[in-house]
Structure 1
């Protein structure tokens, strides 16, 4: 038997910059039957330069490892620096709202989830690039669905928060929603993991069933959940949300004379700014071609106030209520329009590259509402006030979201199912009223096959993310108690 010779393997060389390995290719020649192996030369200078480059990149703040893979003290520092960055202006201004928000985040894991979108989405950086793109809401969770007025002032149920809207893979909204339902069902409903799995499945099935309907019948522009056609769990919300405008105005907002906002711990009248906000209302009317003679014929601003303590993510950002005179001029049918300072979407720069652009700040938020809520609130828009971008919307007597702690085990599933349907309608409108230039519905349905695998993958993501959220929240509480958010990150030389 002839002798066999085994070719020696060249050692692997590791790149300090990329973490990849490669092997030198043997370029030896055969002489006298012997194979000569050319061994690679290890250059220490090359590794020194690689590590010098790595040190520079880390020192400059580059994220070398995806944040969701960080553990221990590195993860704690990431959470801390992300929250400092996200609230930099509020911390620097020593805003009372910033302290209030951090206190709120510390008390509840669901509030922490709601108020830390940037942290959530940095863990998803660049993910799901192969999935169909939609105009995503960016912050889907059980309390961002609700009852609100449509363009005719009629109450409808749908998605109701467009502050983070941006073009992104549809799965980004699905994942955010699934984790939101999981965390809320545990904290607000005290439900078991088995029950929470059923709730997440109900949400996904509601979404896919509605998407199948829109793919077949193309009714997404006409459909709406109203008092007459909603499931029982939503009909109850309509009934609980309903209130006569006169009672709502006088009980919650107006001073005894009815001529302006009252002063309390939530409302701070600033009547001296009426002219500033009259201009903002006029700009909104021009941009939206607003003409509502039966609701506010002159669009006359009667009073303005600062609204304190509202929201979770936006807590501490400037928010104003503007009182518009109604047709009767007796303070029984006045309108309140909210102006809230707009920010960059938490998803900006994190989503896979896309040719679709929703715009910036207030214009982006208005674009989200105009696409995702067909026939929605006519006062929804974007204006500049003092050179800053603000979004606007109407406050209404029946604008309300569900009380999660009142849901039973079965109604949690019912509610998740109808929320999935509402989100599907918002996504389906991306190619009708938005910029997406291909048929969204069949693309999403194809991307979700095999369906059971898609659902189980989403559940695995949900559980893994919720477990990481728990650890992040515990670390945040400790850091907050030690004063970690009294100042921003500084670079010392």
Structure 2
């Protein structure tokens, strides 16, 4: 049933009331050091239940640079955002909307799609949290690359203004028009020209990551993301591992529709390897399963990644879904523009100790983030505009686009306030990163090679 004029009036009135309660300028606020939770204590709390052998690697990665720390410190970031003013309009949030969590993918018809690439923290939450996390990521990235302050300012404003303008556009569209809305082609071309090179195109071929060993198709031993079975405690012997992974895949199969189950049934498990996710996911159980077609031997790579509670849950209330894996999959389906036909979840009792939840998806080697170190201000700004548009589309599909657009208004007040927030956030991020390095140096935090 379409909204009536009365509905529209009520929604706009709510937005105006929110602007009186939380003026745009208040979004510049960042929690004071006195009120913030200890970020190292928050990170340590996340260690519970992770693979112990991988925890030193996690902290080594976090300590590599302020940008690496920012990417991995999703829980401290969520705690900071929870202490900021809220407008009262919820959406299906990415939960960790930062530059590194977006990628280019090949969709049907070889069409390029720019979209979210990570959904581990997705949950229903205030829309402004994603926007602030995104803006801060561009400030931190700009500092890492060495862009001057004036260029960083333009980049952060581009991200937030792109979000605002897109939300005004989406508020006027029907749900169907919104679903199929494409990004600006010129901006997409600029981003693709940097992110996609010959190496990126080659990575789209799954055969690149397989080889013939002992007369059978196996994962290539040289694959940079793969660790052979048995290298980490808890793997047990290969036969037991294969049985456990098959158990996960059987449970995962039940979450697929009939047509997708029929596709999956044409493949059998041929090999598996443990992988180590990025800084935020380091220590979580993550596997790549090589499946091959029973008749031709064509490969299919699936990622089985342990699903843990979202970092936003303590700030917003627990998810109403029955498992973290289902939460991730449901959130991904809600906000992702190009769906994954093999997306599903599973809960496996006693996989590696207690019951573990997993979300399963096709491993996409056509994703390309590009070399951040070589991004010029213009390229980084194009990424900012495209990310802002993508976040706005996800929020408009799962929230009240009209109310959010009415709250944002026609001026740049919100963007300027979020820019100030991003500067304060980046400053604090540098201090937190320094504190982590100091803790490693003093032996209070164990890191690989320390």
**TM, length-normalised to structure 1:** 0.74
Partner of 2:152: 196
- Check if 1:234 corresponds to 2:192: yes
Over 3 Å counting, the alpha-carbon distance change for 1:111 and 1:145 in structure 2 is same
1:468 maps to which of 428, 432, 442: 428
Number of aligned residues:
400
- Could you tell me whether the CA contact under 8 Å between 1:203 and 1:420 is conserved in 2? yes
Partner of 1:365: 328
Partner of 2:413: 453
- Check if 1:443 corresponds to 2:403: yes
- Check if 1:427 corresponds to 2:395: yes
Partner of 2:103: 146
Instruction: For 2:242 and 2:110, locate their aligned partners in 1 and report how far apart those are by CA, in whole Å.
Output: 25
Partner of 1:220: 178
Which blocks of at least 5 consecutive residues in structure 1 are unaligned? Answer: 1-65, 432-439, 488-493
Instruction: For 2:186 and 2:248, locate their aligned partners in 1 and report how far apart those are by CA, in whole Å.
Output: 36
For the aligned residues, what is the CA RMSD?
Answer: 3.0
Over 3 Å counting, the alpha-carbon distance change for 1:128 and 1:254 in structure 2 is farther
Larger Rg: 1
Partner of 1:32: none
Partner of 1:337: 302
- Superposition map of 1:330-409 within 5 A: 330=297, 333-351=298-316, 357=320, 360-385=323-348, 386=351, 387-409=355-377
Partner of 1:11: none
Partner of 2:129: 172
- Could you tell me whether the CA contact under 8 Å between 1:133 and 1:168 is conserved in 2? yes
Over 3 Å counting, the alpha-carbon distance change for 1:229 and 1:112 in structure 2 is closer
Instruction: For 1:151 and 1:412, locate their aligned partners in 2 and report how far apart those are by CA, in whole Å.
Output: 27
- Could you tell me whether the CA contact under 8 Å between 1:284 and 1:290 is conserved in 2? no
The CA deviation string for residues 235-283 of structure 1, in whole angstroms up to 9 with x for no partner, is 55355532376x543x334354452224467331445433433343333
- Could you tell me whether the CA contact under 8 Å between 1:296 and 1:334 is conserved in 2? no
Residue aligned with 1:320, SS: strand
Over 3 Å counting, the alpha-carbon distance change for 1:369 and 1:224 in structure 2 is farther
Partner of 1:27: none
Partner of 1:260: 218
Instruction: For 1:348 and 1:430, locate their aligned partners in 2 and report how far apart those are by CA, in whole Å.
Output: 18
Residue aligned with 1:68, SS: coil
Offset at residue 293 of structure 1 (A): 9.0
Instruction: For 2:159 and 2:401, locate their aligned partners in 1 and report how far apart those are by CA, in whole Å.
Output: 17
Instruction: For 1:232 and 1:299, locate their aligned partners in 2 and report how far apart those are by CA, in whole Å.
Output: 38
Over 3 Å counting, the alpha-carbon distance change for 1:341 and 1:224 in structure 2 is farther
Which blocks of at least 5 consecutive residues in structure 2 are unaligned? Answer: 1-28, 230-237
Over 3 Å counting, the alpha-carbon distance change for 1:226 and 1:204 in structure 2 is closer
- Superposition map of 1:19-418 within 5 A: 68-71=31-34, 78-90=38-50, 95-148=52-105, 150=107, 156-187=113-144, 189-218=145-174, 219-224=177-182, 230-238=188-196, 240=198, 241-243=200-202, 248-249=206-207, 251-256=208-213, 257-263=215-221, 266-269=226-229, 270=238, 272-289=240-257, 291=259, 298-307=266-275, 309-326=276-293, 329-330=296-297, 333-351=298-316, 357=320, 360-385=323-348, 386=351, 387-418=355-386
Higher relative contact order (CA 8 A, sep 6+): 2
- Could you tell me whether the CA contact under 8 Å between 1:260 and 1:303 is conserved in 2? yes
Partner of 2:233: none
Residue aligned with 2:313, SS: coil
**TM, length-normalised to structure 2:** 0.80
Instruction: For 2:79 and 2:283, locate their aligned partners in 1 and report how far apart those are by CA, in whole Å.
Output: 22
- Could you tell me whether the CA contact under 8 Å between 1:267 and 1:306 is conserved in 2? yes
Which stretch has the larger CA shift, 398-407 or 289-298? Answer: 289-298
Partner of 2:8: none
Over 3 Å counting, the alpha-carbon distance change for 1:292 and 1:134 in structure 2 is closer
Instruction: Return the structure number with greater helix share.
Output: 2
Over 3 Å counting, the alpha-carbon distance change for 1:376 and 1:417 in structure 2 is same
- Could you tell me whether the CA contact under 8 Å between 1:128 and 1:169 is conserved in 2? no
The CA deviation string for residues 187-225 of structure 1, in whole angstroms up to 9 with x for no partner, is 0x2101111110011111221222222112232212356
Instruction: For 1:347 and 1:157, locate their aligned partners in 2 and report how far apart those are by CA, in whole Å.
Output: 24
